[in-house]
Amino acid sequence: MKTPLMWRVFVLSAVLAQGLDAWRSDHEECALPLKHFKYISPSGYGEKCITYTNVTDAFHEACRGILGIEPGTDDLTDIQLDNFGDVIQETTRILCDWFGLTKDQVRSLLPIINTANTDIGSYCPKELKSYPGNDCGNGIGFRSADGRCNNFVHPHWGASKLPFKRFIPPDYGDGIKSIRTSITGFPLPNPRSISARVHKDIARPHRTDITFMFAAFGQLIDHDLTLTAETKDPITRQEIKCCSGASHPYCIPVNVPTDDQFFVGSHRQRCIDMIRSLAGVNIDCPLGPRVQTNALTSAIDGNFIYGSNENVAKKLRSFEGGKLSMVPVLAGHRLKPILPPKKHQPDDGCIRPHPDLYCFLAGDNRVNEQLALGVLHTIFAREHNRIADELCAINSHWDDERLYQETRRIVGAMIQHITYNEFLPKLLGKHTMRKYGLELSPTGYSNNYDPDTDITIPAVFGAAAFRFGHSLLPDAMERWSVDHKFLGSRRFSEMFQQPYDLHKPGWLDQYLLGMVNQASQAMDDAVTSQVTNHLFQEPANDYGKDLASINIQRAREHGIPSYPAWRQFCKLPPIKSWSSMLTDISNATIKAYYDLYTSPEDVDLWSAGVSERSIEDSIIGPTFGCIIAKTFSDLKKGDRFWYENPGLPNSFTLEQLNEIKKVKLSRVICDNSDNIVTIQPFALEQPSQYKNNRVSCKGYLLPQMDLWAWKEYTGCCSKKKVPNPNNPNTQIHKVQVNEWNKEDDNLQKFIQAIAVNISSSKPNSWK
Ligand code: HEM
Ligand SMILES: *[C@@H]1O[C@H](CO)[C@@H](O)[C@H](O)[C@H]1NC(C)=O
Ligand SMILES: *[C@@H]1O[C@H](CO)[C@@H](O)[C@H](O)[C@H]1NC(C)=O
Ligand SMILES: *[C@@H]1O[C@H](CO)[C@@H](O)[C@H](O)[C@H]1NC(C)=O
């Protein structure tokens, strides 16, 4: 094919960018021989190959000269990455057209082509190359901020800003990027119809004894694992309003059926806002179907506290004593510091009734989504600062950086321990814990590190399986007193993205006590209307969005295959007919599916997953149980920094490890609340007289880590490592930090005054 002039200019700049060595003149070279698979040439001429020139030609046709990045650009923003990903998918589609490839060929063969030999290669940024000069040499002792180099052979495994992995190939409508369709080729049933029919608001308390803290901790862990890169306004980071006419190509609003009693009947709303997640690009920039980007590091490492890249991590630190920035606004009430205000892009994920009112800043941007997250974020940030202070007293020769990193390592280990010791056994049950090797050794090391296991989170986990928690939500958060008496409650719809109650003296403790006393809702197909009708409701409205519809639509636009495909992946009895669902799902729900879907093959995973009856001693059904267990198994085996690993430069000493294994969530709550005196030992389960009776925070029944295990005996020859005061970097930080705090003092006083005013202007909003 002849290359038009404009393209030659492109090719030439690509050549210069790559260096002349890389230019192999033979671009007629075969990129993918077609003879090895069943292939019928659409032109009838019997092409033997897809050549590199074909790929380059398709690429230029796809981007039509507008890519928004220059060849050789590194550190792409998420929008640039999305553009690039979008063009790569379009290239895939064009090649699919030209060569008449099947869906299977698109997903299994096109990714084999080495795009480094095409013009795509010159745009592939450094951070997406499998060996970017492989600089994992240093930093073996501590996790990097963006998770890179956890695995030495595959430095990108589990790093932030990379795509989710796939357990099974994606299922897009067109095989490449469009939203999933029915096996008949027609669109799937309307997500809101499924939500309204199957995921009704029926209050059933959980048959086991889990507290709301169980759901809240689950969400916190999710925010350590996944945040799918979202399409937002690039400047304000506000949502794009597809329902009010924004014509973004990624708009996929849910059209509410006319017979909907709530949205149409009561509020005349025909549309629920929704937009596709950003496209991502896989490592080495291959062709193939659409992928989505995980903005977080995969490993359980406390990134919701620390951030998932160096820039965010720096913004959160105080650079003194290894601590995080927190503000002592409630010090006058003798209460501990709270999280700092989010002043950059303040409207991102935050509803602000007044321009001087701010939400909180933390390592994960969803900290303000609902109050329970704000509560737990505060507790864990305080825990970091508490430990840093103690370590500083024990090892006075450690500088800020050392204190920060050592503390971060301990806090990350504590989160791993609580997750595998308290949360997962309750969620998955004994049998599944054992089957997937998730059990901890009671004391000491466990030697299971497997460098061939990829810790990258699978797409299905974030888009469907770990969203099981949406079924557990009650409709309000309770506040309880220090002697465990109910004080009041606040509906979720009143505090989505409005965490202002945490400015009120004493309320953090009251919410914490509420979370450990209040029961969770049952794990079933019912979901509270607080999230199916009122999600992110603005103060002026009586309706919001529908999370169940969004979950269903989200998985479809991520190409997550249907429920039967996951049953097969999990080696569970196959779903061949409606009646084969009876073993795990109730008659009524199957009847609803029968009315809504054309075929059992089409049923959406999230909907069926939450509707499955839970297996014996667990909270969750077999399909979600399998997907979640497999994910957490990879996270345990494949994490070089797994806290039980022995013999690595980053390993804890045996003594230190056994201190970490003493930790319980209740201990963290006791140590970092303002004034909690008693609590049940297992905070994820309700207190009960015989099994989980409340104990004193001070007593031996809630053992404390002894941080003297971290004492570094430096001996006689120790050299104190003091930061160089002449180092310009240290000076700049000092100045910035001080100014910032001063400014905040006044601001925070003001915020507090406003918060009190807002609460007194809404006398009916809590009992
Ligand atoms: C009041 C509580 C909660 C609210 C308001 C909430 C809301 C949301 C929203 C709005 C999304 C993004 C939906 C989308 O656009 O695709 C989401 C995603 C998600 N939620 Fe929840 N959620 C809550 C509780 C939970 C709980 C308890 C869990 C788990 C135990 C959970 C797990 C997840 C997961 C895994 C995602 C996907 C995150 C991603 O990859 O971006 N959520 N939730
Ligand atoms: C692919 O490239 C070869 C030469 O490299 C050319 O002969 C052929 O026509 C191209 N095919 C298509 C479909 O463009
Ligand atoms: C569910 O349906 C099956 C088959 O139609 C029937 O045998 C069974 O009794 C039903 N169960 C309930 C609880 O209605
Ligand atoms: C709070 O309300 C009082 C009385 O209504 C008013 O005088 C005061 O200015 C308000 N404070 C703020 C910060 O808005």
The DSSP-derived string for 605-662 is HHHHHHHSPPPTTSSS-HHHHHHHHHHHHHHHHS-TT-TT--SSTTPPPHHHHHHHTT
Closest CA to 535 of 254, 204, 190, 248: 254
Sequence-ordered strand ranges (E) for 75-224: 162-163
Give the helix ranges, DSSP H, for 449-604.
Answer: 459-463, 507-517, 529-532, 547-557, 563-569, 587-596
Last residue of a domain, one of 163, 195, 222: 163
For a mutational test of ligand 1's pocket, the pick from 222, 534, 558, i.e. the residue with the most ligand atoms closer than 8 A to its C-beta, is 222
Asked if residue 553 is part of any domain, the answer here is no
Residue among 323, 308, 297, 315 at smallest CA distance from 405: 323
**256 within domain boundaries:** no
CA of 748 to the centre of ligand 4 (A): 15
Among 757, 758, 759, 762, which is best to mutate for testing ligand 4, by the most ligand atoms less than 8 A from CB?
757
Tell me which residue has its CA closest to atom 2 in ligand 4: 757
Residues 6+ away with beta carbon under 8 Å from 734: 319
Evaluate whether residue 95 is within a structural domain.
yes
Long-range contacts of 763-767 (CB under 8 A, 24+ apart): 765/490, 765/491, 765/494, 766/479, 766/488, 766/489, 766/490, 767/488, 767/489
For CA atoms 286, 289, 290, 295, give the dihedral sign.
Answer: negative
51: which 2 tokens? 């050549």
Q: Which of 140, 163, 186 is the last residue of a domain?
A: 163
Residue 462 in contact with ligand 1 by CB distance below 6 A = yes
The reported pLDDT for the residue numbered 246 is 80
| 9-39 residue pLDDT tens | 333 334 333 433 333 444 568 888 876 556 5
- 655 vs 709: CA distance, rounded Å: 6
Has 223 been annotated as catalytic? yes
Ligand 2 atom 2: the closest Cα is on which residue? 54
Neighbours of 581 (CB within 10 A): 25
| Residue 328 exposed, middle or buried by CB count within 10 Å (0-12, 13-18, 19+) | middle
Ligand 2 contacts (CB < 6 A) are 1, 28, 47, 51, 53-54, 98
Residue nearest to atom 39 of ligand 1 (CA): 227
Nearest CA to ligand 1 atom 37: 462
Longest dimension (CA), the chain: 83
Q: Count of alpha carbons within 13 Å of 599, Cβ hemisphere only?
A: 13
In whole angstroms, what separates CA 272 from the centre of its chain? Answer: 23
Centre of ligand 4 from the C-alpha of residue 354, in Å: 12
* Domain that residue 59 falls in: 5-163
Centre of ligand 2 to C-alpha 98, Å, is 9
Supply the pLDDT for residue 253: 96
Residues paired with residue 251 on neighbouring β-strands, in sequence order: 275
Q: Looking at the domain assignment, is residue 401 inside a domain?
A: yes
Q: Which of 473, 472, 479 is nearest to 513 (CA)?
A: 479
Q: Chain centroid to CA 218: how far?
A: 11
The DSSP output letter for 688 is B
Distance in angstroms (rounded) separating the CA atoms of residues 99 and 320: 61
3 state SS of 378: helix
Tokens found for residue 730? 């240290």
Instruction: Single out the residue in 163, 190, 212 at which a domain terminates.
Output: 163
Locate the ligand 4 atom nearest the alpha carbon of residue 756 and give its number: 1
pLDDT in the model for residue 25 = 40
CA-CA distance, 114 to 367, in Å (whole number)?
Answer: 40
Q: Phi, psi (5° rounding) for residue 737?
A: -60, -45
**Whether 534 contacts 494, CB under 8 Å:** no
Cross-strand partners of 211? 519
Residue 148 forms part of a structural domain? yes
Give the count of beta carbons closer than 10 Å to the beta carbon of residue 553. 27
Tell me the average confidence (pLDDT) per consecutive run of 10 residues in the chain, 767 residues long. Answer: 36 38 52 69 65 94 80 87 94 93 89 94 90 62 92 91 96 96 97 96 81 98 97 84 89 96 95 96 96 97 97 96 95 93 93 90 97 98 98 96 97 98 97 96 91 97 98 96 96 94 95 97 91 92 96 98 98 96 95 97 98 93 98 97 92 96 97 97 94 93 95 63 42 38 55 60 40
In the chain, % helix, strand, coil (3-state, to 5) comes to: 40, 5, 50
Residues 6+ apart with CB under 8 A from 137: none
Q: How far is the CA of 677 from the centre of ligand 3 (A)?
A: 50
Classified as helix, coil or strand, 217 is helix
Residue 100, pLDDT score: 87
Distance 196 CA to ligand 3 centre (A): 23
Spell out a b/e string for 264-275, using b for 16 or more CB atoms within 10 Å of the CB, else e: eeeeebeebbbb
Pocket of ligand 4 (CB under 6 A): 750, 753-754, 757
H-assigned helices in 496-604: 507-517, 529-532, 547-557, 563-569, 587-596
Residue with CA nearest ligand 2 atom 7: 1
How far, in Å, from the CA of 219 to the mean position of ligand 1? 7
Q: What is the Cα–Cα distance from 94 to 640, expressed in whole angstroms?
A: 41
Residues 6+ apart with CB under 8 A from 511: 371, 372, 375, 477, 479, 501, 502
Q: Which ligand is nearest to the CA of 225?
A: 1
Residues in the chain: 767
The CA-atom distances, in angstroms, between 420 and each of 143, 151, 662, 685 are 20, 22, 13, 15
126 Cβ contact list (under 8 Å, min separation 6): 74, 75, 132
Cβ-based neighbours of 552, under 8 Å, separated by 6 or more: 191, 194, 195, 604, 606, 607
Distance CA 51, CA 284 (A): 18
| 470 belongs to an annotated ligand binding site | yes
Structure tokens at 626: 């399998």
CB 165 within 8 A of CB 459: yes
Is 217 within the bounds of a domain?
Answer: no
pLDDT for residue 176: 96
> Which residues does 74 contact at the CB level (< 8 Å), separation at least 6?
125, 126, 127
The answer to whether residue 432 sits within a structural domain is no
pLDDT at position 750: 60
Tell me if 704 is assigned to some domain.
Answer: yes
pLDDT tens sequence across 451-464:
999 999 999 999 99
The pLDDT, as a whole number, for residue 29 is 83
Report which ligand 4 atom has the smallest distance to the Cα of 757. Answer: 1
Q: Which residue in 199, 206, 223, 417 is the catalytic one?
A: 223
Look at ligand 4, atom 6, and give the residue with the nearest C-alpha. Answer: 757
Number of domains the chain contains: 2
Got the DSSP string for 360-373? B--SSGGGGSSHHH
pLDDT of residue 18: 42
pLDDT, position 310: 94
